[in-house]
Amino acid sequence: DAGVTQSPTHLIKTRGQHVTLRCSPISGHKSVSWYQQVLGQGPQFIFQYYEKEERGRGNFPDRFSARQFPNYSSELNVNALLLGDSALYLCASSLNTRRQTQYFGPGTRLLVL
């Protein structure tokens, strides 16, 4: 079975631009979470979606938004990019919201210049 897939793998943007990152969960998984990982630190929680509804939001500005589609794939959108948004963006999927072991994708490396 395919694991969590993310696209694109790498992305270079300039300050002020907008970016959309995409994630497809493991088949049968209905929950998707997004994390930001800055070099040298652990992943920081951004959003969780389950059955197309937002179930959790981390301490990130409103420039960050996300949605989940009927096929359980998800998009993370970031507006008005800042240099500090440069990071590895990770998507994780889990079966549901109880005892949810999260399985991570390979990530999207975003560089903002």
Chain contacts with another protein (rule: CB under 8 A): 4, 6, 31, 33, 35, 40-45, 48, 50, 55-56, 58, 88, 90, 92, 97, 99-107, 109
In terms of CB distance, is 52 or 106 closer to another protein? 106
Is the Cβ–Cβ distance between 105 and 92 less than 8 Å? yes
Q: Please check whether residue 32 is in contact with residue 68, taking contact to mean a CB–CB distance below 8 angstroms.
A: yes
Q: Which distant-in-sequence residues (6+ apart) come within 8 Å of 65 by Cβ?
A: 76, 77, 78, 79
Q: Which CB sits closer to another protein, 52 or 109?
A: 109
> Which of 86, 37, 73 has the alpha carbon at shortest distance from 58?
37
Nearest approach in angstroms of CB 82 to another protein is 22
Structure tokens at 79: 């507006």
CB of 9 vs another protein, minimal distance in Å: 10
Q: How far is the CB of 55 from another protein (least distance, A)?
A: 5
